[in-house]
Amino acid sequence: MAGGSGFITAADASIVLTCPPVFPTGQQIQGFAPDDVFEVPAQRIAQVEMGVDGFLATGYIFVAFPWNFTLQASSPSVNVFDAVKEAQDAALTTFFWQGLISGPALGTTWTLIDGTLVDYAAAPAARQVFQPRKFGMIWRRIVPAPNITALI
């Protein structure tokens, strides 16, 4: 039962990214690393100051949101990131991406708005086997929302 109490699997997560002008239609990202699909570091979203008299003042600040994807070296989706990197090199610019990530087990969908690829390794590390590749992105906004189909 998706979206129920106690379910936390990431196995049923779905990730679709677009990056016009290279991929104007959604590209499903597949082939994740064994123990690492994505990571979203915590961000400080407020400035806080305590006055010498004990009064607390806070202020809203704008922040960019990192989101790191980890794919097996053999993942067909590494080609999506490689193609965008090559197109950016040819155009001498960066491109904005959009994304939609569904986490049915949690009953949540995240909309990723105006992101760009900021961390890129051109090839995987090679040990006994080729290692997973990480792709770091920064998003202007991440909007979580209930996954309606998971709640039904």
pLDDT at 28: 98
Pick the CATH number of 14-151 from 2.60.40, 3.40.50, 2.30.110, 2.30.29: 2.30.110
pTM, to two decimals: 0.89
What HEC string does 89-101 produce? HHHCCCCCEEEEE
3-state secondary structure of 40: coil
Where do the structural domains in the chain lie, given as residue ranges? 14-151
Whose CA is closest to 113, among 90, 89, 142, 74? 142
Write out pLDDT tens, residues 77-110.
Answer: 999 999 999 999 999 999 999 999 999 999 999 9
Distance CA 48, CA 51 (A): 10
Report in angstroms the alpha-carbon separations of 86 from 39, 99, 115, 143.
24, 20, 17, 29
Q: How many CA atoms lie within 13 A of 99 on its CB side?
A: 27
pLDDT at 2: 54
pLDDT at 150: 47
With a cut of 70, which residues of the chain have pLDDT below it?
A: 1-5, 148-152
